[in-house]
A and B are shown apart, each in its own frame.
Chain A
């Protein structure tokens, strides 16, 4: 009987400690929740409500139109709205995302492994900073610099001539439809690869060296160690990086915007965020632009869910 009472008393104690901790936890979480509610949830709800209206930037009133904006966007044929349809934007966004995020995840992982294998800390530190530097540069400035380099007289075209062993050829980096898409991917890749390298380095540093030592003692080759030890233990970081990279690519805007401001053709690179911008800000159709942003939100939600569900992100224990 005494024992039962003791257990009960311990349970009550534990329960009250948990409750106390939970209260403190809640207190510390409240600012974050308030922040998210104001700056994330409210705009999403507001955008959804606006997407059900015909709101225009300059008009003082708007009319409830139900799902007309969505119906209009999905019913557009190839030539509607001068060719700047939702379908074209989804195509441009997916092309950009696949063309950027897969190479970015793979190459940033390889670079991170390469940097971690460097024995001299100073070399590693220097290269980390060098890779990371473009990420701190404003996207607008970075794109403006790259556009000068993509000019027919610029560095990239000159290098292309050297590599392809031609002289005076214009590779039309800003003109040709495919080259233009590749140019935007290149700028984005250059700008963000350092950021993901740093994330991978953080993940790699968390793997205990004893595991590698044991593998070396067992005679595992470097290749084998990478595939059998590094990659499985790095899985949570890989999932995190790939989701972040994918979401960032789906939200890309400033690179494409700057290119079109510089005279490049809009249609090949009219990613959905840019279409939202032109529809809402330039043409003042806020209802239609909000419908597009809700569609983008759902696309991002779907891809994130798919990625989570296919990668089975169980915690890794060392």
Chain B
């Protein structure tokens, strides 16, 4: 009995000390390096969220680094290679997936993010939305945005070429060529107005689906063969060669990207391929054009003889947490991410980006966003962009092959053989 009393007294003495330690741990200063891609509309919101979060977590400092999306891919990788990766970052899933495979990012701290377990997170999002970040039973990321691309059309430019945008907009890639030929303006050989142009740095998202429409694939079903379906790939390369400056001269990777020109409504471009977020950017950059109703969104085209009705691939930018940082910092990082993502409706209203929770996808806000139905239908026609251990390298190879076909005049068949050999080498390395 005496012994029990002594132990009890000792425990009572130690308890406040343990409690004090826990409190000290709680108040320990935490610095979060937060790296994200540039978006003026999103920046305004996030600056406010960071301020609010830091007010409720006075021990937390958040340093933000913003760079162009393409630059961020290299910056994050270089930082991780040097062991100096950011605490929280986001990239497109095809660039992010290798971090999960390499064990460089931490799984979600479910309690800190406000969920019971992995299943609870998966259930909170629309079906399949977290598949790409689920690895060996754990979820490694939460989506900042889920994006697919449709065709934005400037009605004024159509009308100026004697076309009716409502009926003459292109439904097939062949019509994209035909309509573009009517829309372009030239000074001799020099294009002064383009009808449409592609988004050249993003081949996995927008060009692989074109190959799939023709019956080709990036990989065979078992994942062992790369660049499948020679006829489809060659036909796609022929199409691109014909599109470029050595063919019909309707566009080129060397011109200013169409999406950036579209908002200005300067009679430079009639059609651009981009996501729902473009609406907020038009509103921000050129409110008169936004309010004029002189623009519209139509679905991603297909080839006339398409064997598959595939729309542009959707891709997600997922927030991830560096696995090298200590657990206390990881916990705060997930609390911070969860706080930002609790404003899904505001993100949609102000920035027009979709955080695909079940709640948001069924909300009135989403349904009332202009042309959201067009994007939803294309989501159903599309699939997630290819992601794998070498997806960044494959994206580069696709880019260079298309550039070689369009600019250097590389024969489509040679381009196919070259691409197949290079991607196959990567596949064989992994297998």
Contact = CB atoms under 8 A, between A and B. Distances in A.
Interface stretch (B189-197, B279-287, B298-306): B189-197
Nearest to A268: B408
Interface stretch (A12-20, A41-49, A52-60, A123-131): A52-60
A79 B254 contact: no
B408 A177 contact: yes
B245 A284 contact: no
Interface string A258-302: 000111111110000000001001111010000000000000000
Contacts of A60: 102-104
Nearest to B244: A175
A226 to B, nearest CB: 43
Interface in B71-119: 73-74, 77-78, 80-81, 98-99, 102-104
Interface in A177-232: 177
A23 interface: no
B254 A174 contact: yes
Contacts of B422: 79-82
Interface residues of A, number: 37
Interface stretch (B173-181, B369-377, B413-421): B413-421
Given A57-B81, A79-B417, A81-B422, A168 B245 contact: no
Contacts of A282: 73-74, 77, 392-393, 396
Contact of A79 (B70, B191, B421): B421
B187 interface: yes
Given A58-B99, A172-B245, A282-B392, A267 B254 contact: no
Contacts of A265: 400, 403-404, 407-408
Contacts of B245: 170, 172, 175
Interface in B32-88: 70, 73-74, 77-78, 80-81
A103 interface: no
Contacts of B200: 263
Given A58-B77, A168-B187, A80 B254 contact: no
A58 B254 contact: no
B296 interface: no
B80 A168 contact: no
A169 interface: yes
A67 B421 CA distance: 23
Contacts of B188: 167-170
A283 B254 contact: no
Contacts of B397: 82
Nearest to B417: A79
A79 B186 CA distance: 36
A58 B400 contact: no
B274 interface: no
A267 B77 contact: no
Interface in B365-402: 392-393, 396-397, 400-401
A80 B425 contact: yes
B165 interface: no
A263 B418 contact: no
Contact of A263 (B81, B252, B401): B252
B255 interface: yes
Contacts of A261: 70
A240 B80 CA distance: 40
A256 to B, nearest CB: 14
Contact of A59 (B74, B78, B102): B102
A177 B404 CA distance: 10
A82 B418 contact: yes
Contacts of B255: 151, 263
A152 B55 CA distance: 53
Interface in A151-179: 151-153, 157, 167-170, 172, 174-175, 177
Contacts of A83: 400, 404, 418
Contacts of B186: 168
Given A59-B102, A169-B190, A172-B245, 5 more contacts: A168-B188, A170-B189, A263-B252, A265-B403, A282-B392
Q: Which 8 A-B pairs have the closest CB atoms?
A: A168-B188, A263-B253, A58-B102, A57-B81, A82-B422, A263-B254, A170-B189, A265-B407
Interface of A: 56-60, 79-84, 151-153, 157, 167-170, 172, 174-175, 177, 261-268, 278, 281-284, 286
Interface of B: 70, 73-74, 77-78, 80-81, 98-99, 102-104, 186-192, 200, 245-246, 249, 252-255, 392-393, 396-397, 400-401, 403-404, 407-408, 417-419, 421-422, 425
28 contacts: A57-B81, A58-B80, A58-B98, A58-B102, A59-B102, A79-B418, A80-B421, A80-B422, A82-B422, A83-B400, A152-B191, A153-B190, A167-B188, A168-B188, A169-B189, A172-B245, A174-B254, A175-B246, A261-B70, A263-B252, A264-B254, A264-B403, A265-B403, A267-B400, A267-B408, A268-B408, A281-B78, A282-B77
